[in-house]
Amino acid sequence: MSNRLELLAPAKINLFLHVTGRRPNGYHELQSVFQLVDWCDRLCFSTIDRNTIIRHGGNPTIPPEKDLVVRAAQLLKSHTNYPYGVEIHLEKNIPIGAGLGGGSSDAATVLIALNQLWNLHLPKTELSELGLQLGADVPFFLFGHNAFVQGIGEQLECIDLPNQEFLIIFPGHSVSTQTVFQSEQLTRNHAPITIMDFLANTGVVGQFTNDLQPVACELCPEVNRALNWLAQTLPDATRRMSGSGSSVFAVLPESIKRYDLEQKMLNLPSGWVGRLVRGLKQNPAYNSVLSV
């Protein structure tokens, strides 16, 4: 078996996000549809015969003990008593603090890769239990498919989504997820829906919203500014914030003139990042591992 592996870690967007309640422990009950997209970080792994985890790249301001990539590797190593280590090179492409799940995707990709490289043979269910210790979104990326998500993010049901393209805008500012969920203005009693309700209404229109969006717009005016930019640029498109922000996205109509849109993206405000992406059917990390 090879001692090197290179995997892509995809971003996700929330096609909607409803807050349906709050548990006694303070965690919020959610419903959402998570859509994988082809905006990816790249992780390269090399096994080493030393008992250590080495990380290169990523955000240099994050200490190793708080870095999800390192924490995921250490968690798996501790869980299995694996005696050796790994060297990880992270090429960070997904913006940090953007509501696109980049950190969670990286953590899941570490678990997938090291389960393979270290020849551990842990089932996906066991990896997901470990992933939940790292963050609520990590089990989704281990699940590997687009999903109708409930609970605090741990209840996942595979969903078949149409082939779509999206324009994602990251307005250069992050929104504190904790502050959003603690806001008194947050709607916490959205009536639950079923997966069939979502599919019957083509997913991103009509009654489906992101309950976190109004709060995030109050906390970070750049979110509202980005939504307004999308409204002016793509007036006929469905527009929404992803996760707790600050990224926003538009579902591209089939009639879109891509060249004109790309020209407009050249004039985004300073500090903003725009990306045209396609929806994915499944996590590319699993395809790579299965083909090894």
CATH, residue 139: 3.30.230.10
Banded pLDDT at 115 (limits 50, 70, 90)? very high
Condensed to tens digits (0 to 9), the pLDDT of residues 226-255 reads: 999 999 999 999 999 999 999 999 999 988
Q: Are 167 and 252 in contact (CB under 8 A)?
A: yes
Opening angle at CA 72, ends 70 and 78, nearest 5: 100
Which residue segment(s) compose the domain that 210 sits in? 165-278
Banded pLDDT at 1 (limits 50, 70, 90)? very low
Per-residue pLDDT, averaged over 177-197, amounts to 94
Average pLDDT, the chain: 94
Residue 249 sits in a domain whose CATH number is 3.30.70.890
Residues 54 and 192 in one domain: no
Catalytic residues: 12, 137
Residues 148 and 15 in one domain: yes
Residues 192 and 231 in one domain: yes
Residues 33 and 153 in one domain: yes
Residues 192 and 244 in one domain: yes
Q: For residue 251, report the phi and psi dihedrals to the nearest 5 degrees.
A: -85, 120
Burial category of 195 from C-beta neighbours within 10 Å (exposed 0-12, middle 13-18, buried 19 and up)? middle
Residues 19 and 142 in one domain: yes
Is residue 145 predicted with pLDDT exceeding 80?
A: yes
- Assigned token pair, 85: 């280590």
Residues 215 and 236 in one domain: yes
Residues 140 and 209 in one domain: no
pTM of the predicted model as reported, rounded to 2 decimal places: 0.95
Is residue 205 predicted with pLDDT exceeding 90?
A: no
Q: Are 127 and 115 in contact (CB under 8 A)?
A: yes
Structural domains of the chain, count: 2
